[in-house]
Structure formats: structure tokens, C-alpha cells
Structure 1
Amino acid sequence: MSDDLWRAVREYLEQHEEAKAKARGRRGPRSRLVDAILVMLLAKPMRAAEIAGILGYSTRYISSYLSYWKTRGYVEYESGLWYLTTLGEEYAREVLDRESRDRFNEFAAVAQRILNSLPDKTAINSKREARPRRQAGPPLPFIAGLKGKPGNKQQNRGLTASCALDVIAEELDEEEAEIMRFLLDHYAKWGTTYIYLDQLQEGMQADFQWLVKNLRSLQTKGFIYIYRDPRLGMRVGMSKKTKDVLEACSAGLDA
């Protein structure tokens, strides 16, 4: 890909980010990784390397997320440390509250199961003759139709995508693998081998400079292509090399 086209990619992403900010205003993260990062920063300001070491990611990868959410006003950077803004602190506390509610609901469900497992004294002491159990009728048509039927297309694509990622993983670094995992997950869910660049950045919530750098590396290695659609924008798709791996995995799973 020429330098001019890569420059166009950068300009497109910058313009898209500006348009999103104007059209939607600020929006909270939708990534569990971002939730984890912000909750950690709620405890104290930290270096990206500290966060990366605790969460098990590369420092560059964590830095890309922090840079992305810095532009949205959730974090700030000073003297080597990342810290939460007022907006980021509010969101991190919401995450903590949500997780606390989830844990309470989980424990409440366990307590209910324990209670339900206790013998019913009324039933034990009752001398009434138990009613005969009603025989189950024929299964509903749609349930009967599922019995013995092989996995649906989405499940099969998921297995194929997982196989393909395992095959190509040796040629990828951690950051490239994260992008390919997203593209393959997208394929497994929707059955398409391409996605538009703005959708990719939004879905990964990635810093655009980090994204462009790694897309360029993946394109150099022959795993993706980038096409400029005059009407719809930049398209990122799986190359023939990647599609061949998918086809081989699919054939192997069907064998």
C-alpha cells in the first residue's frame, strides 16, 4: 500500500472521530479491558507498564487504550503516570457498583438454591397419596427439529475462525493477533471477511495511530488488504492467504 493511501487512512480516521464526537457526544467504554484499567486507576495513578504487568498485556497495547480514552476525557497523563479525570472516576465507580450488584445477585442465587434443596417437611409428613406424574407430551416442533441437527452456521464459523487463528498465530505479534482475533470474531458472527475501518476502530476502541501501525504490519505480512471505497470509506478485509487458511480449517473440521 502506498504512503499516500496510508495517509488517507489516517485522515479518514481523524475525520471520523471528529464527526462521532460532534454527533454523539461522549460515550462510556464498552470494553471489559477498559473497565479493568479504569478501576485500577481508581485505586491510584499508575504507569502503563504497571497496569500491563497486572493485567497480562503488553505495555504498548495498554498505552493504546489509555491514549484512546484520554482523547475522550476519561484519563490524563502527567510525569509518567496515568490518572482518572472526574468523568473517568465517575465511570469507574459505576463499574464497581455494577460488579458489586452482580456478585450479590450471584450469591443470592446460590442461597436460593441451598434453600430449595431443603426437604419440604409438609410434603414428608403428608399422608395424602401423591398424584401420578403426567406423562410428557411430544416435543415442540422447533425443539424436535433441533435434535440430531449439526451445529448451526455461526457455530461452525466460530470453530473455523478459532482454527485459523491458531494456524497463523506463530506469524503474529500480540498486537497483530488482537486485530486478527477481532476480524475472525466478526467473520464468525456475521459471515463476512471484511469490515469498514471506522467500525474496526470503534469495535476495538483502539487508538488510531496504534491501529494504523498494526494494520500496515498485517498488510505487509499478507493477512489483510485495505481498499478505499469511494462511497463507504476504508475497508479492511482478509487477504486470499487468510481465506485459504479459513477454507482449509473448514474442510478439516468437516472431514
Structure 2
Amino acid sequence: MNPHPPHHEPDAPRDLVGIGIGPFNLSLAALAQPLTALDAVFYEQRPAFGWHPGLLIEGATIQVPFLADLVTLADPASHWTFLNYLKTRERLFPFYFAERFHIQRAEYDAYCRWVAENLPGLHFHHQVDAVRFNPERDVFEVDFTQLDSDGEAEALGRTYTKNIVLGIGTEPHVPEPLKPLVETPGVPVIHATDYLAHRQTLLAADHITVVGSGQSGAEVFLDLLRNRPTGHEGLHWLGRTEAFAPMEYSKLGLEHFTP
């Protein structure tokens, strides 16, 4: 995957097809870009990159230092590092002066969007419909639908590939008793992934219960606790764990992730 990839015949199998463009496959695409002999494409049904847009709460930071960006620990000289993103925005020196090791979620999202908007080989508005293995050709067949700006089908396509990388992420989990209420009109039950879209309504509500003792629940609870106006202080936080457990971030723990 590179700015000038080799000519691709429609029926010739690609080396790699990535399904989904989140941080994982975006990282893979960025690391693959300098490999001139590698024929790779990535498909995503959404119109553009977005990293948990409903949880980009002001002041919330990512869990790891900025060096654990999309590429640095694998290829520090890559064009797609977070530091190079800052350089292109003329913000490298202000970032250096701030001495911040952990960056805000919104900043990380902006960095990833910069990579996604400039990296070749990424196809947004492409919905993968089916994946089949063709034993006669020893390749995968990938059927997709190209969507227009309204999300409607515009064209059908098929490509062939020797390898597939799934990067579709996870589905938001809603406890079984609450599932019937999420889609019920007028019932204020939302998942944290949609928090910012409903934030103003929640701030004005008389009482809120946050369910879940993970990081997302903590960030939502803290934001509500800090910003709920006088007279709307009713706020509870429920979790099934006995206590709130901090993230394992010791030096010994980090060694588990060392290649």
C-alpha cells in the first residue's frame, strides 16, 4: 500500500483486505504503506473515521502514553507518527513545552482522522456484504456495496484476496433487562457510546443512574458530577464489582506487552 501501488488487475488476488477501519486496521494500513510490493485495501461502511465520538469528553485522556500511537513503537521513523501529526499542525513545540505524556481522547481522534484522510488505500462508505473462501483459486472472495453520501447503495463490487484482517471492533453491551428500553421512545436509557449526543438532556434530568464500573462509566459519572446544576444532583453509580479497580499500569505489567 503506497501512493503509487502496482497496477491491479480486477480478478487478481490482493495480498490483503482489511474489513473495518478502526485504530487497529488504521495502524496496519499505516505500517503497510511503505511496503511498495504489498497490494492491500481497507473497507469501512462509515463515511469517515471516528473513534468513540460519543465519549470524547473534554479532559478525558487515553490510557497509554502518546508513544503508543498507531505506528511509533513499531516504526518510529514512520510518516504517520503522532509527533509528525503535531509538526504538520505547527504544534510540536507547544506540545513539548506542555510536558504531557498522556493526550486527550479528542486529540487522539483528531490524529487518527489526519492519518485516515491522508493515507491511500482506505475506502470509506464501502459496506462488506459477504466473504467466501474459493478453494479452487485458494483465495477469499469479498463482496461489497459502495454507498453514496446518504448511505444508500450506489454500486456493487467484488475483490479477491489472499489474506483478510478483521478490525470491526465490538458491539456496545446493554444489560438484558434494559435492552427493551433502549429503543423505546421517551424512555431515557442510553449507552455510553452515545453520551455526548444526550449530554445536555442528562445534565437537566432530575436523577441519573450510571450502570457499569469500567472506564466509560467512570468518565460519564465524573463529567455529570462536575457539571450537574444545582437542584439536579441526583446521581448514582452501580456496578457488579466489589470495588473500582485501577488499570494495571506497573512497569512489570507493561513488560507483558513488550515484543
> TM bucket by the smaller chain?
under 0.3
Which has the larger helix fraction? Answer: 1
Larger radius of gyration: 1
User: Whose strand proportion is higher, 1 or 2?
Assistant: 2
How does the TM-score come out when normalised to structure 1? 0.26
Q: TM-score, normalised by structure 2?
A: 0.26
